[in-house]
Amino acid sequence: MSTKTDKLLSVLKLQPVVPVLIIDDVATAVPLARALVAGGLKAIEITLRTPAALDALRAVADQVEGAVAGAGTILNAAQYEQAVKAGSQFIVSPGTTQELIDAANDSEIPLLPGAATASEVMGLREEGYDVMKFFPAEQAGGASYLKSLSSPLAGTLFCPTGGISLSNAKDYLSLPNVVCVGGSWVAPKELVAKGDWAGITRLAAEAFALKG
């Protein structure tokens, strides 16, 4: 487990913000990913929420130099396998099931499992996980809730996702148990629709600067 945890942490520590993307049109995937990488955001989560997602993931994994493509919204073992075959280097789930844990155990590609309560975190720790996605972050209690978990559940690291923006990202990033945050604000739909890749690179660079 520790080798996979190291592999996952090496991805999550690349940057303070992991872009969470919903891609409707495969044609936008490569230029969008290139724009994010140019701004410093190399690890990119493409969510399996659209028919185009797997093809978009494959295109980014194959064609975007410097990108570390991951798959999000993975709900079952079949999707896990499809995402890995498409080139995903990390897998993200909104919650956790035994089926997903079994799929992760059978794969070389690490899972960032979702948790929202102390009991879920404890259950994942029993399975050998100490790096998790906290989702939906704002709706589940926000930075103050996550801060309150840091002492009783010491040694657990989180990537909070859900409702996070440039304005509140630092509230999370300042916590000792947060390794990075996930956010969709770095790739707004209107900029993607216009093909404003320079605008997206600026937003990515602004997000990358939160590291300081």
- Catalytic residue numbers read 45, 133
CA distance 162 to 135: 6
138: Cβ contacts below 8 Å, ≥ 6 apart: 162, 163, 164, 168
Give which of 123, 113, 127, 128 is closest to 158, Cα–Cα: 113
26: Cβ contacts below 8 Å, ≥ 6 apart: 52, 55, 56, 59
Q: Residue holding tokens 């309150």?
A: 148
Beta pairing class for 157-160 and 131-134: parallel
For residue 116, give both structure tokens.
């929202």
Contact 184, 22 (CB under 8 A): yes
Containing 172, the helix (H) or strand (E) segment is helix 169-173
Read off the DSSP letter of residue 64. Answer: -
